[in-house]
Amino acid sequence: MAEPVQRSTDIEERSNALVFQPLSTWLAPILVRARISANATSLLGMAAGVAGALFYGINDAGPGLVLAGFALMCLWHVLDGADGQVARLTNTQSPLGKLIDGICDYVVFTAAYVALALRIEQTWPGYGWPLVAVSGLFHAVQAGAYEAQRQMFDYWGLGKQSARIGAPSQESRAASRWLVLIRIYEWVQLKVTAITPAYLARLEQVIGTPAKDNPASQAYCHFFAASVRSWGVMCANYRTYGLFLACLVQRPALYFLVEIAVLGPLHLWLVARQARLNRAFASGQTV
pLDDT of 171 over the 80 cut: no
Confidence at residue 48, expressed as pLDDT on a 0 to 100 scale: 97
Tens digit of each residue's pLDDT (9 = 90 or more) over 79-99: 999 998 999 899 887 777 777
Q: What is the mean pLDDT of residues 144-158?
A: 90
pLDDT for residue 255 = 95
The pLDDT assigned to 176 comes to 55
Residue 228 or 97, more confident: 228
Which pTM does this prediction carry?
0.83
The mean per-residue pLDDT over the stretch 180-200 comes to 76
Query: Cα separations (Å) of 89 from 30, 35, 148?
Result: 11, 12, 23
* pLDDT given at position 2: 52
Q: How far apart are CA 231 and CA 275, in angstroms?
A: 13
pLDDT tops 90 at residue 180: no
Whether residue 168 is predicted with pLDDT greater than 60 in this model: the reply is no
Q: State the pLDDT at residue 8.
A: 64
Q: What is the mean pLDDT of the segment spanning 157-161?
A: 88
Report pLDDT for 69: 95
Nearest Cα residue to 165 out of 185, 141, 142: 185
In 3-state terms, what secondary structure has residue 152?
helix
- pLDDT tens digits, residue range 13-42? 888 888 999 999 999 999 999 999 999 999
What H or E segment, with its residue span, contains residue 82?
A: helix 63-89
pLDDT at 238 over 90: yes
Residue 273: which of 221, 236, 228 has the closest Cα?
A: 228
Q: For 42-58, give the DSSP string.
A: HHHHHHHHHHHHHHHTS
User: 14-167+174-282: which CATH number, 2.40.50.180, 3.60.20.10, 3.40.50.1970, 1.20.120.1760?
Assistant: 1.20.120.1760
